[in-house]
Structure 1
Amino acid sequence: MRSVRYFAISALLAWGMTLLPVPFTSAVSAKALPEWIDEDNLSRHMDHLARLPRPPATETEFAAGAYALETLRSYGYQTSLQPFYYYTYRKPSTLSFQVEGSTQSWNPSGLAFGSNGVANAPIVDSGQGTATDFENGKARGNIAFVKRGSITFAEKVRQAAAAGAVAVIIWNDRESEWKGTLVEPLDMSVPVIALSKEQGLLLQKKLQANQQVKATVKVEGSYSSKETSSNFVATRKPAGGGTGQIVMVTAHHDSTPSSPGANYGAAGLAVMLELARTLAERPIDTEIRFVSFGAVSAGEKGPRAYVSTLTKEEKEKIIAAYSLDGVGSQDAKELLVTTVQRTKNLPVQLAEKAGARFSTAVEDQVSGFREDRVLAQEDIPSAIITRPPVNHLRNNPDDTAEKISLEQLTKTAQMMFVAVTQITDSSTSAYPIVKERYTVQRAVEEEEI
């Protein structure tokens, strides 16, 4: 895989450099802005990026990211490739729980990344599944019945497997529905199922009555695999110390398997690349960072991998982060900016001054995985730039380059130029660092404990 990818990036170098624009070197004012944005560049980027679907962890995804990287490098940015791995999981085709001699109908659910297997054995109460709960040795050869809480689901399964249990039943300690995950395949594991609080209490009552409860746990057909994707990062730092602050602009180079992702993916990245060109030689006093994320459609894997590389000090220096997505449809309307918290943070305020309209209503409409949500979870002031109708043709085979308006892309790039230069221009003062505590949720509510 590595050799193929290195071939891909080398091929893109040879092929793409003949098409890339010459780096811009002139300084102009905002009044001359419309002439700055080059529609031919935007068109060229769309041709490269939206030819084919770019599913996460595929050669087409990597090639799109490599094209972005080489484009940014040609403009003089310091670039880096940041590969990361993640696991995918396919749910079991068979998931069942049966108690011998009981007519009770049980409704088990699975935990992501649980092992396949069939176990027929007595059930023993193993408390909350901690190491101490397994010290009595009663779980060996039996099915461990453990209550949710105290430690992660993964640790409960590890402890049960180490104690010799043949399967694990985790029952809920609260009324709400839940979707449990072991996060990734375990090095030590046995089949595991989950029961609701109501059914867990029913089973616990049988065990407390000193009844021997023998059952069969069956999990079959699940599948997990380790995948590799990459983030591509470009930075430009001011000469001298500057303000010590950072402004980020992000997009993503992946799409779903069924869609070329022209509007959702490629359009935002095309605008980001053209914005980078316009800022490449402009005097700045604030670091500019462009990031193209991989595997966003696989559950925001790229953004999560990226923020894990940031130090606390680095996160605190980022005063504004813009995510570009869904900005180019020919059916699109006005340019909107919103945040996961529906608040007017610094990115929103600057985007409004640049011509975007703040909307809380659009936040309810934006679906799917989003990089700005991940950044917000790290207390980084973040906003998404998009256009209604939100979600039009998202993940659809018809989301093609033919349905993209270069005029819409141009207007987005113009707005972003004005917003970003309000931070980066040496004529503007450093902005006070205002950090809000965000309480946003993951796109998929998978719980680990």
Structure 2
Amino acid sequence: MAKLLVAGVSVLSIGITGCTPVLEEQAERGTLLSQAESTITSRRAIADVQALVELGPRVTGTPVMEQARAYLIEQYTRAGYETKTQTFTYPKFEDLGSNITVNGRTINGRALNGSIAGKQSARLVAVPNVGQASDFAAVDVKGAIALVRRGEIPFLQKAQNAANAGAVGVVIINNESSDLYGTLGGEVQIPVLALSGKVGNSLFESQQSQVSLAVNTRQRTVTGTNVIAHLPGVTQPRVIVGGHYDSVPGSPGANDNASGTAVVLDIARNMAQTTLARQAWFVAFDGEEDGLHGSRYFVSQAQPSFLEGLDAMLNFDMVGVNDQLLVGGTQSLTKLTQATQSDISIFGSQGGSDHAPFARAGVPVLFFYRGQEPNYHTPNDKSVEPRLLDETSQVGFNVLKQILNSDTVSVAM
């Protein structure tokens, strides 16, 4: 059997036989959990979410993540699994506090990920439309701070167009009232600040005003840690079940993504006393919010034969808010999921979560998701609905059983 070659992997604990929430014969038949068992599942999952949320924002490289990791290791061990940790490092972009001051009023914003640091005092010039090169040709931004709206073209292109037109800084206003979180995805030699539509739209009335732009950023190396759980001796799983357990700064991350972390843990509990558990690994990924670093590292350290032995990677991200459960990914797996649960909707899965590195490596993937919601990436992401965790756990569990009870899985990307 293939082995996963990882740097910094250590066995932290060998689990003993845990609770038996689902009888083995039920799992083998592929039936839904009973009502009583469903209630227990719901209570366990919401308890996991609450335990993680109470720790505070789970930002990679912070002491809070050590506490979150210890909690997950304890829970997996109680369920009968052994756990391993997989450590990795990466440069992390940090905003130390960025703002723009207009007419004596300081407005706090967020530096776009990748922006250089810089302070500029200059005219504020509103650029028409969304900051295409032709839009900059219509105004004089030389030596000025350009004010542009979000939309149509990438942030990087807006910033490069501004720099090419001679601007000394850029402020991008969200096309919604909420805060704007984003990444440049490339280099530009002027500072770039993002503002919510709520506070930023009024600035379009302040063009030609003298303003002060302060973008305070830095790069530092942080250490992330994946948690891997499996039954003793399972070196080549057929399925990886995962979700990230980190959150963005300032957000306790109930839905994003304590919800997915709890669902993965609950599926592991439900499988623990079945033979199917010997065909699965369960992974809590770190560093997702900074660019899928944990899942990318996991895939990069795996032998090709290990990845080739996988029938599927199931990813759970933001599954505790919004009634409609969505799935995306490999066509054969999305069709299997709809056949198992007819009211599930298929959507065009984007590459913004931990299934993406597996898909790029040729592993069939299935992404469980409930869509955006108002508290996304905010301090208000504090609660989820227990019944939605329960529903997601049951659907994921039953899809997993369908995959593992099949000798082969027909793959259509």
Q: Same-fold call, TM > 0.5? A: yes
For residues 376 and 189 of structure 2, the distance between their equivalents in structure 1, rounded to whole angstroms, comes to 34
Q: In structure 1, what residue type is equivalent to 2:117? A: S
Deviation at 1:257, TM superposition (A): 0.9
Match of 1:167 in 2: none
Alignment coverage as a number of residue pairs: 289
Deviation at 1:22, TM superposition (A): 3.4
Q: Structure 1 pair 395/313, CA: closer, same or farther in 2 (3 Å)?
A: same
After superposition, the C-alpha distances for 1:30-60 in whole angstroms (9 at most, x for unaligned) are 1544433322212221221111111111111
Instruction: Please state whether the residue corresponding to 2:229 is helix, strand or coil.
Output: strand
Alignment of 1:233-248 (within 5 A): 233-236=228-231, 246-248=238-240
Deviation at 1:353, TM superposition (A): 2.5
Match of 1:333 in 2: 323
Match of 1:230 in 2: 225
Instruction: Please state whether the residue corresponding to 1:313 is helix, strand or coil.
Output: helix
Instruction: Please state whether the residue corresponding to 1:284 is helix, strand or coil.
Output: helix
Whether the 8 Å CA contact 1:286–1:423 is kept in 2: the answer is: no
Q: Structure 1 pair 430/393, CA: closer, same or farther in 2 (3 Å)?
A: same
For residues 380 and 119 of structure 2, the distance between their equivalents in structure 1, rounded to whole angstroms, comes to 36
Root-mean-square deviation (CA), in Å?
3.4
For residues 179 and 281 of structure 1, the distance between their equivalents in structure 2, rounded to whole angstroms, comes to 45
1:259 aligned to 2:251? yes
Which one of the candidate residues 305, 311, 318 is aligned to 1:319? 311
Deviation at 1:73, TM superposition (A): 1.7
For residues 237 and 421 of structure 1, the distance between their equivalents in structure 2, rounded to whole angstroms, comes to 20
Whether the 8 Å CA contact 1:46–1:270 is kept in 2: the answer is: yes
Whether the 8 Å CA contact 1:250–1:292 is kept in 2: the answer is: yes
Whether the 8 Å CA contact 1:247–1:286 is kept in 2: the answer is: no
1:360 aligned to 2:347? yes
| Structure 1 gaps, min length 5 | 1-9, 97-104, 108-177, 182-191, 195-219, 437-449
Whether the 8 Å CA contact 1:33–1:414 is kept in 2: the answer is: no
For residues 306 and 49 of structure 1, the distance between their equivalents in structure 2, rounded to whole angstroms, comes to 23
Q: In structure 1, what residue type is equivalent to 2:317? A: D
For residues 234 and 78 of structure 1, the distance between their equivalents in structure 2, rounded to whole angstroms, comes to 6
Q: Structure 1 pair 393/429, CA: closer, same or farther in 2 (3 Å)?
A: same
Which one of the candidate residues 400, 405, 429 is aligned to 2:406? 429
Match of 2:89 in 1: 85
For residues 216 and 318 of structure 2, the distance between their equivalents in structure 1, rounded to whole angstroms, comes to 36
Q: In structure 2, what residue type is equivalent to 1:345? A: S
After superposition, the C-alpha distances for 1:391-434 in whole angstroms (9 at most, x for unaligned) are 44210111112xx111111111111111111123xxx3311464
Whether the 8 Å CA contact 1:50–1:400 is kept in 2: the answer is: yes
Q: In structure 1, what residue type is equivalent to 2:239? A: V
For residues 20 and 339 of structure 2, the distance between their equivalents in structure 1, rounded to whole angstroms, comes to 28
Q: In structure 2, what residue type is equivalent to 1:376? A: A
After superposition, the C-alpha distances for 1:323-380 in whole angstroms (9 at most, x for unaligned) are 1111112xx12211012xxx5133x23322331624236x4xx69x411122212111
After superposition, the C-alpha distances for 1:135-175 in whole angstroms (9 at most, x for unaligned) are xxxxxxxxxxxxxxxxxxxxxxxxxxxxxxxxxxxxxxxxx
1:288 aligned to 2:280? yes
Instruction: Please state whether the residue corresponding to 1:273 is helix, strand or coil.
Output: helix
1:61 aligned to 2:68? no
TM-score by length of 2: 0.62
1:299 aligned to 2:294? no
Deviation at 1:282, TM superposition (A): 0.9
Whether the 8 Å CA contact 1:354–1:416 is kept in 2: the answer is: no
For residues 251 and 399 of structure 1, the distance between their equivalents in structure 2, rounded to whole angstroms, comes to 17
Q: In structure 2, what residue type is equivalent to 1:92? A: I
Alignment of 1:215-226 (within 5 A): 223-226=218-221
Whether the 8 Å CA contact 1:230–1:293 is kept in 2: the answer is: yes
Match of 1:372 in 2: 355
Whether the 8 Å CA contact 1:93–1:221 is kept in 2: the answer is: yes
Q: In structure 2, what residue type is equivalent to 1:232? A: V
Q: Structure 1 pair 379/393, CA: closer, same or farther in 2 (3 Å)?
A: same
For residues 252 and 67 of structure 2, the distance between their equivalents in structure 1, rounded to whole angstroms, comes to 14
Match of 1:270 in 2: 262
For residues 266 and 279 of structure 2, the distance between their equivalents in structure 1, rounded to whole angstroms, comes to 17
TM-score by length of 1: 0.57
Q: In structure 2, what residue type is equivalent to 1:373? A: A
Q: Structure 1 pair 32/302, CA: closer, same or farther in 2 (3 Å)?
A: closer
Deviation at 1:435, TM superposition (A): 7.2
Match of 2:105 in 1: none
| Structure 2 gaps, min length 5 | 1-11, 95-114, 121-141, 145-183, 191-214
For residues 238 and 225 of structure 1, the distance between their equivalents in structure 2, rounded to whole angstroms, comes to 37
Whether the 8 Å CA contact 2:323–2:370 is kept in 1: the answer is: yes
1:344 aligned to 2:331? yes
Whether the 8 Å CA contact 2:93–2:219 is kept in 1: the answer is: yes
After superposition, the C-alpha distances for 1:166-225 in whole angstroms (9 at most, x for unaligned) are xxxxxxxxxxxx9546xxxxxxxxxx969xxxxxxxxxxxxxxxxxxxxxxxxx976321
Instruction: Please state whether the residue corresponding to 1:318 is helix, strand or coil.
Output: coil
Instruction: Please state whether the residue corresponding to 1:334 is helix, strand or coil.
Output: coil
Deviation at 1:94, TM superposition (A): 4.0
For residues 281 and 180 of structure 1, the distance between their equivalents in structure 2, rounded to whole angstroms, comes to 48
Whether the 8 Å CA contact 2:231–2:277 is kept in 1: the answer is: no
For residues 25 and 420 of structure 1, the distance between their equivalents in structure 2, rounded to whole angstroms, comes to 14
After superposition, the C-alpha distances for 1:209-262 in whole angstroms (9 at most, x for unaligned) are xxxxxxxxxxx97632111110000123799x9xx7511111111111121110
Q: In structure 1, what residue type is equivalent to 2:82? A: Q
Q: In structure 2, what residue type is equivalent to 1:300? A: L
Match of 1:113 in 2: none
Whether the 8 Å CA contact 1:238–1:285 is kept in 2: the answer is: no
For residues 62 and 392 of structure 2, the distance between their equivalents in structure 1, rounded to whole angstroms, comes to 29
Which one of the candidate residues 356, 367, 378 is aligned to 1:396? 378
Instruction: Flag the structure with larger Rg.
Output: 1
Deviation at 1:80, TM superposition (A): 0.3
For residues 270 and 53 of structure 1, the distance between their equivalents in structure 2, rounded to whole angstroms, comes to 16
Instruction: Please state whether the residue corresponding to 1:315 is helix, strand or coil.
Output: helix
1:26 aligned to 2:23? yes
After superposition, the C-alpha distances for 1:38-93 in whole angstroms (9 at most, x for unaligned) are 22212221221111111111111232122112211221223101111111245433
